[in-house]
Structure 1
Amino acid sequence: MTLVPAPSHSVHQAHDSHAAHLHAVEALLTDRLADLGTQWRRGTAVADTVLGDDDVPELLTTLVMSGGKRLRPQMCWWGWVAAGGCDDSPDLVRLSTALELLHAFGLAQDDVMDESALRRGVPTVHVRAGRRHRGAGATGDDRRYGESIAVLAGDLAHVEAGALVSGLPAPVRTLWWQMSVELVRGQARDLSAAALTSPDDAIGQALEVAHAKSGAYTIQRPLELGATLGGAGQDVVTALGRYGRLLGEAFALRDDLLGVWGDPDVTGKPSSDDLTAGKATVLLALAEQRCTGPARAAVDRMRGNSHDGDDVEVVRKAMESEGVRDLVEQRITRAVTDAHAVLRSAPLPPAAVEGLEAVSERIAWRRV
């Protein structure tokens, strides 16, 4: 039986509407964050005694508006197009905006857990809050204070995201809940993987963490959410889920590579940041399999969180000489090829297929 895609607008129209959608998301983000700040300060005549004007909503606003790829709104849009959507809608803008705020929730708290100093080239929320603590001459531990404020900024982003989603159709809210649980579970698994010196099936665990923590809530679920909001049939949602899982793996693996070999001037983070932090990535799991001698000893120290700067450079070089970097690049290429094959065999409008193929190329071989 020949599958006939639902009528859709042209590829050119889809891209024009896509740009307009992202513009609308930026506008709603600006409005909601401004309203959040107003509500936060309502009923009080004085500024925060430590943070001053750089209070929790302002810290969150800086995080959200300091750049970023807006990948989640993009994927949500293309899910909508895959469902046959032609024009933007207020509900779609709300959903995409909520996704970006959920992302801010994850970033603020992930930076605390990873002890990251920079995000998008600017100090992370907990670092900025800690500096305010020191500048105010406050008592107590400035680092602990900064981390606590960052957790609250993440909580505030999560609350605002939930408020945006609350009025959307029930199937969308159900999928949102599932995605949110997956995100938190992925973060918990990431912490557990880092706490074990020799985990069983290290590669499988690293891939699971990458899927739940990065790939699913960045690629797969936003696609499914956009399609569900657009009233797509189960065959479309299933195909997008398969494509999204494959591209989500490519996204997460590229993140791993950028965390070791990324250009700090482009990524906004220090070079080899993931190795310095001893993150339990697919790269590290493969290095554990392939490295011997001094390089393997350095990997073991990284697993035990007893490594130093010299170990970082030893492992980074060994990952190249032992073919680990090449293996991951090959895996990314294979995931994108398979993702494209899914698109071409699915009952999707041509505009959605072309748009999603272009997105996958940008995501898989990005520099930031």
Structure 2
Amino acid sequence: MSLAAGVDYRDLERLFDYFEIRDKDVKNLRFLGNILLPYKEEFADAFYDNLMKFEDIKEYIPEAKLQRLKRTIKIWYERLFSGRYDSEYLLYLLRIAKVHVEEGIPPHYIIVAMNFVSRFCSRRIANFFSEKAKVFFEDYRREQEKVCDPSKAEIVEGFILEEVFERMEDLNRSLRKILALNEDVLVSYYVDAELRTFFEAGKVERAAIKFSKKFAVFMDIAILIGLMFLAVFVIALFGMDIYHFFHGDLAHSLIAAMGDLLILWTVLELLNSEIKFMLGGELAVSAFVSVALAATIREALVVSLEHGKPIEFKLGIGALILILGIVYGIVKWFEIKRKKKLGE
């Protein structure tokens, strides 16, 4: 079933069956509307306050659009508790999903948003029943003191509290179901959009996409094998420099061997980065820069012992090391910043 291609009542029935939404849940959601709709304004403000604490969301939600988006989320909040969950409601959710996809908003923010809605509503539901129960028990105790043994009131109160907690859980269960349905429809649109782009492509385009994917995998394997061979060659070069260390040019061989170890360390870092990338992670660009930096530093160490090299050449290597060091620092800073945002 491709929700993005259109919906009908069979889609609605299927989704209701997936999430076990029954008539009882619809009634519960209408009842929740009486409790939660008065918080509509507070919800809209809190919803975007929660999202705006993530720095990168500001790329998709500029301040200029915030008031209009608050009006939009209030409409969604009202429809959430309307009790009218038909094909029109599904189309409404798909229109919302379409806007999110077109704006390039990452789908994980939908999951974050639904989690916030669940927490916001659950707290208000708990407050509602807590206040009602407090007033009820105060009145109940006063009446019981007049007509019966107060000790029996505790038994009745315990029974009533169990009923209240069961009712709260029943309402929260219905809330979780409709939020799960919303989340599923919105996130599914992202998947359908990608599939639709693929299937709407021509036969030649689809073949090219499939080939390019296989070719990319082949190139990843080639890079991985190449890095392993490179590590072996660096180890061999290190062995040769150690051999020369014991057979003559001590200073030159020692510095060359130190440079070999530096290059070997960066190659291993690049190898680990490529493995993580093939397993689905992000490629660390800083690893590539570090290899170039390490090779340049090795060359500078070796050149420092060669008195025949012109001073301009040595200054050029020094300038290159400085530039690569600055580039490495900038790239590494952005990578660390991104990891912090993702909570890694």
- TM-score, scaled relative to structure 1: 0.21
Greater helix share, 1 or 2? 2
- Considering only CA atoms, is the larger Rg found in Structure 1 or Structure 2? 2
Higher relative contact order (CA 8 A, sep 6+): 1
